[in-house]
Copies of this chain bind each other. A is one copy, B any other.
Amino acid sequence: MTDQNKLRNLEDLGEFALIDHLTESFENRNPTTIYGVGDDAAVIAISEEESLLISTDTLVEGVHFNLMYMPLKHLGYKAVAVNVSDICAMNGTAEQITVSIAVSSKFSLEALEEFYEGIKLACAHYNVDLIGGDTTSSLSGLMINISVVGRAKNDKIAYRSGAKDYDLLVVTGDLGAAYMGLQLLEREKEVFRANPNIQPDLDGHDYIIERQLKPEARKDVIEFLKELEVVPTAMIDISDGLASEILHICKASKVGCRLYDEKIPIDAKTSMMALEFNIDPSTCALNGGEDYELLFTVKQEDFEKVQSNPHMSVIGHITDEKDGIYFIDKSGSAITLRAQGWKHF
């Protein structure tokens, strides 16, 4: 088998199918394992009232981040935020993290201190404790693995699999900004590469750049849901683009869905930058990743509660599985929804 073939093997499968394939023959043996592979976090039984939530994420230099425009402090902050986001996506509260890094000799002690400064800020912001980790050398670049431990009441845990016919599809905040921030940073990087005398032109684009470099986990939304007394029937965080996440919920819940283009919340700054790049703003929201907003479903009876919260937008509704998964564009045409989000393979 040639190297080219090997690469294609993994690329063809994609990350999710690869994990499914590699782990499908594993079986759970411990009664404390409530839920394993396949959701935003695993669920471990600890008492009649509560469960522990565990999730883990790996970030690889050159694959998930580029240190040319990502300051190490922001990277540390973001690495924690994306893990906290996984716990939010289960309707839980993050409490502890472990941070493991493998780092090549090109990094100075000062660089690592800056990275940990970002981690510390995020720990303070999300009220999370650093409880362990590992620091080792790597042969090339920086690799980060964070595991997060959270907690949730057993009757409040939101899996991907609980969406039911007629439930409303809700998203928080606005979408596509992190993706446009990345496009802008990539463009200015190329300009700088071509001519290092030209300074990056990032003026007036703080919002989309911050959405890329310093995303926040929607811990506030978990608080809002608690105050509103709404328990999502299903939930996931948007790391790979809206389309991909909707498909995850539909697959896990064995339901269909109708998503309305005109309802997707997109900030004006995102739209403007998208048009400058000749990209349809909806495409940024559907396929751009790293917004770390929450996508969830609620029962129809919760409509008014959700509607009353300025951070939540109803963008569609769940249907029977046989009715398919459709994107309804602004002209009213129904288009089969496909994932074209991030594939790191």
Q: Which residues of A contact B (CB under 8 A)?
A: 1, 3, 5-7, 9-10, 13, 15, 18-19, 21-23, 25-26, 28-30, 32-33, 35-37, 41-42, 44, 46-47, 52, 54-58, 60-64, 95-96, 98, 100-103, 105-109, 112-113, 116, 120, 123, 127-141, 143, 145, 147, 149, 151, 344-345
Known: A33-B96, A37-B133. 8 other contacts (CB 8 A): A6-B105, A6-B106, A13-B109, A26-B123, A54-B132, A56-B98, A136-B344, A139-B140
Residue in B10, B41, B54, B138 whose CB lies within 8 Å of A143: B138
Copies in the assembly, this chain? 2
Q: Once the chains are docked, how many angstroms separate the CA of A108 from the CA of B63?
A: 19
| 3 cross-chain pairs, A with B, having the tightest CB-CB distances, nearest first | A42-B131, A7-B105, A145-B145
Chain B hits for A116, CB < 8 A = 22-23
Q: A42-B96, A98-B54, A109-B13 are in contact. Are A19 and B133 (CB under 8 A)?
A: yes
Asked if B137 contacts A30 (CB within 8 A), the reply is: no
The contact sample of 26 A-B pairs, CB cut-off 8 A, is A18-B135, A19-B133, A23-B130, A25-B120, A26-B123, A26-B129, A28-B131, A29-B123, A30-B96, A30-B129, A36-B130, A36-B132, A44-B131, A46-B47, A54-B98, A54-B147, A55-B98, A56-B132, A56-B133, A56-B147, A58-B143, A60-B102, A60-B143, A102-B143, A134-B145, A140-B140
